[in-house]
Structure 1
């Protein structure tokens, strides 16, 4: 499974970093960073949650 970000939609609000901190973080410039695109089984539930709660619908999980 892989997570992708639509950078045109993302406003860097950081909700995803709260839901899945092992995969997303907000850097010192308040920009979203994807720490790893390939999602391991242990992070699957938290990334699914991050995708669901993204207010801009900028995240997507792909097989």
Structure 2
């Protein structure tokens, strides 16, 4: 499973980082930066929660 970011939709709320700090970093302006595109084993539920919490739907999960 891959975590994908639409950078044009991200509005720097930082909720994804709060929900999934192991999967999403924030740049110096607070915009999301996925740590890696592949979601590590055991982190799928965390990735799904980060996708759900994003108010602008900037994150999504895709099959490999």
Note the residue ranges of structure 2 that are not aligned, 5 or more in a row: none
Q: Secondary structure at the match of 2:42?
A: helix
User: Does 2:48 align with 1:48?
Assistant: yes
Note the residue ranges of structure 1 that are not aligned, 5 or more in a row: none
User: Does 2:15 align with 1:5?
Assistant: no
TM-score normalised by structure 1 residue count: 0.88
TM-score normalised by structure 2 residue count: 0.87
Q: How far is 1:43 from its partner?
A: 1.0
Q: How many residues align?
A: 63
Q: Which of the two has greater helix per residue? A: 1
Q: How far is 1:40 from its partner?
A: 1.4
Which whole-Å CA distance do the structure 2 matches of 1:31 and 1:16 have between them? 10
Match of 1:61 in 2: 61
Match of 2:19 in 1: 19
| Root mean square deviation, CA, Å | 1.1
Which whole-Å CA distance do the structure 2 matches of 1:31 and 1:57 have between them? 13
